[in-house]
């Protein structure tokens, strides 16, 4: 408390000198209408953090009531400030956003890398071109291992200390890697998934695959393979992406142009009509970001309400969304672009051209950087 009071006085003194001869010495920071009492440190904190600027440069109006509009500003700035300061990037003093393709850190990985996931230290990349799953060290981008997969490795899931890979086959397959074991071949844990699995998610008990052949498979991890699989087809046309929001599994259906909320048995609980080209969504803790065609739909998970349709980023072929705690990144293959939004208020931050022919596809965050599979360039880019 003493330190804070000292800081209050020091701030006022500094304001006096920085402002020139006309400076006014406040009683609580710059504010002349605030007592330097028990509440002063709180006022100073939100002033330093930029959450309030006062009612004027020298007044805080401590006795005034707060309108709901003013409250919205305070809370919005609070969320922004805390998320920015609390991020890993802030701790590493990395406040930049990569501005040019030449500044992307690209690791050569396979021929046609598709999807990528982080285990919080390393990245796992599926590559059907060489039929491998590559392990890339997040800190420096070095390729550590190449696991021999079966055919057509596609969506990747890291869960429960293992790496799972959907195989885009008919019938579908799922592979598994124990990353604590020496590098070798993947283990096939099931060959009985629905037709053409695309991506995987996990609900804490079962693994779910979205199968573009028209089904969703629920795989129950167990002992030695094969693992038990239940495949549900009712209501599905061409499932593509899947995610778990902490309560329910959601599936994007490319053919039906809809987002489905599922119950624990795979039955459709709720249908949200979106649009064409639905691909691979992300969840930001509150809302689902579903890319498709030239749009990104933002859907509130708790209600299924479509909050927004984001269309003005100039993209025409959006693929996968990823969330890093503050921002959502969306890849666009034929546009060879990456687009960024601020997740809290859906404002566009910008977009980056990754270069003709790079075809960015899968994306994830490791909590610090976004990582993007450049399927046309045989690379994994750090963004």
Q: Which stretch binds another protein (CB under 8 A): 8-16, 21-29, 186-194, 276-284?
A: 276-284
Q: Per rule CB under 8 A, is residue 272 in the interface with another protein?
A: yes
Does residue number 307 form part of the binding site for another protein (CB under 8 A)?
yes
Is residue 343 involved in binding another protein (CB under 8 A)? Answer: yes
Of the pair 93, 139, the CB lying nearest another protein is at 139
Expressed in angstroms, the distance from the first to the final Cα of the chain is 42
d(CA 164, CA 158): 6
User: What tokens does 353 get?
Assistant: 């051209």
Q: Rule CB under 8 A: which of 200-239 touch another protein?
A: 202-205, 221-223
CB 215 within 8 A of CB 232: yes
| Cα–Cα distance measured from residue 41 to residue 318, given in angstroms and rounded to the nearest whole number | 47
Three-state secondary-structure class, residue 42: helix
| Closer by beta carbon to another protein, 293 or else 304 | 304
Decide: is 134 part of the binding site for another protein (CB under 8 A).
Answer: no
User: Binding another protein by CB under 8 A: which of 88, 91, 225, 263?
Assistant: 88
Residues of span 7-66 touching another protein by CB under 8 A: 65-66
Of 185 and 273, which CB lies nearer to another protein in the complex structure? 273
CA torsion, points 98, 330, 340, 143, in degrees to nearest 10? -20
CB of 286 to another protein, least distance (A): 5
Distance in angstroms (rounded) separating the CA atoms of residues 111 and 120: 24
* Residue from 50, 86, 184, 225 binding another protein (CB under 8 A): 86
Copy the structure tokens of residue 25: 């010495």
| One of 10, 13, 57, 72 touching another protein (CB under 8 A) | 72
Smallest gap from residue 15 Cβ to another protein (A)? 25
State which H helix or E strand residue 78 sits in. helix 68-86
By CB under 8 A, is residue 162 in contact with another protein?
yes
Most distant CA atoms of the chain, gap in Å: 80
* 209 neighbors 254 (Cβ within 8 angstroms): no
Out of 25, 57, 94, 345, which residue is the one contacting another protein (CB under 8 A)?
A: 345
């Amino acid at each position: 408390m003493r330190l804070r009071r000292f800081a209050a006085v020091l701030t006022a003194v500094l304001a006096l000198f920085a402002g020139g001869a006309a400076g006014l010495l406040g009683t609580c920071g710059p504010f002349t209408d605030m007592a330097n009492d028990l509440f002063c440190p709180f006022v100073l904190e939100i002033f330093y953090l930029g959450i309030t600027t006062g009612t004027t440069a020298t007044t805080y109006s401590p006795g005034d009531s707060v309108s709901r509009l003013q409250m919205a500003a305070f809370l919005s700035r609070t969320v922004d400030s805390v998320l920015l300061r609390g991020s890993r990037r802030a701790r590493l003093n990395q406040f930049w956003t990569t501005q040019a393709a030449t500044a992307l850190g690209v690791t050569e990985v396979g021929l046609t890398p598709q999807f990528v996931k982080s285990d919080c230290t390393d990245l796992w990349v599926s590559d059907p071109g060489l039929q491998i799953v590559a392990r890339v060290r997040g800190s420096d981008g070095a390729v550590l291992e190449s696991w021999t997969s079966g055919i057509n490795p596609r969506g990747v899931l890291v869960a429960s200390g293992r790496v799972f890979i959907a195989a885009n086959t008919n019938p579908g397959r799922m592979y598994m890697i124990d990353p604590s074991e020496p590098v070798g071949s993947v283990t096939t844990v099931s060959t009985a998934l629905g037709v053409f699995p695309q991506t995987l998610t996990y609900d804490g008990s079962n693994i779910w695959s979205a199968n573009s052949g028209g089904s969703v498979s629920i795989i129950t991890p167990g002992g030695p393979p094969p693992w038990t699989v239940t495949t549900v087809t009712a209501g599905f046309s061409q499932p593509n992406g899947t995610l778990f929001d902490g309560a329910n599994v959601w599936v994007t259906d490319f053919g039906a142009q809809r987002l489905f909320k599922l119950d624990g048995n795979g039955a459709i609980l709720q249908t949200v009509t979106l649009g064409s080209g639905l691909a691979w969504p992300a969840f930001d803790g509150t809302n689902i970001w579903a890319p498709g065609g030239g749009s990104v739909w933002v859907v509130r998970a708790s209600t299924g309400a479509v909050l927004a349709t984001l269309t003005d980023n100039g993209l025409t072929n959006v693929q996968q969304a990823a969330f890093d705690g503050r921002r959502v990144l969306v890849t666009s293959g034929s546009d060879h672009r990456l687009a960024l939004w601020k997740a809290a208020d859906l404002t566009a931050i910008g977009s980056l051209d990754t270069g003709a022919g790079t075809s960015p596809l899968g994306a994830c965050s490791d909590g610090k950087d976004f990582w993007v599979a450049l399927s046309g360039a045989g690379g994994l880019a750090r963004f």
